[in-house]
């Protein structure tokens, strides 16, 4: 299963969001997501098999945390698409300026593109 297929499932994305904040045991994820423990365990197994999370054993429980490397690889793959989107927004801003209308930068009190958005 690809990282995209794994992340297509909303509960898995929610789990990553919760684990991004801090490490959590399975029971805490069950309570936060309001789904059954077997369902949480199945989702965690998929996330673990994809390399997105790792588990540490602490006595009778497993503590899960996010692994950043697979997400960095995904981010690197998405970078050219982010740049393409950024270029489109820059073109829209230039067009709005030509038309004499307000620009997103001006509306937010910013004076240059560097402070508006980060593309890397």
pLDDT-based confidence at 49, cuts 50/70/90? very high
User: Which conformational region is residue 51 in: left (phi greater than 0), alpha (psi within -120 to 50 degrees), or beta?
Assistant: left
In order of their start, the domains of the chain are 3-66 (1.10.10.10), 70-116 (no CATH)
Q: What is the pLDDT of residue 41?
A: 95
Alpha carbon 22 to its chain's center:
15
What is the value of pTM for the model shown?
0.66
Query: The tokens of 111 are what?
Result: 């004076």
How far, in Å, CA of 106 to CA of 112, rounded? Answer: 9
pLDDT digits (tens, 9 = 90+) for 15-40: 999 999 999 999 999 999 989 999 99
Give every CB contact of residue 15 below 8 A, 6+ residues apart in sequence.
29, 33, 40, 43, 44, 47, 53, 64
Give the whole-angstrom CA distance, residue 34 versus residue 41.
13
């Amino acid at each position: 299963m690809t990282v995209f297929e794994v992340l297509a499932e909303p509960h898995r994305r929610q789990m990553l969001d919760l684990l991004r904040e801090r490490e959590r045991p399975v029971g805490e994820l069950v309570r936060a997501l309001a789904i059954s423990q077997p369902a949480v365990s199945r989702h965690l197994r998929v996330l673990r098999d994809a390399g997105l999370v790792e588990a540490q054993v602490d006595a009778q429980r497993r503590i899960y945390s996010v692994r950043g490397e697979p997400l960095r690889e995904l981010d690197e793959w998405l970078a050219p698409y982010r740049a393409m989107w950024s270029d489109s927004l820059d073109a829209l801003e230039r067009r709005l300026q030509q038309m004499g209308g307000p620009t997103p930068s001006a509306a937010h009190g910013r004076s240059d593109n560097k402070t508006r958005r980060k593309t890397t």
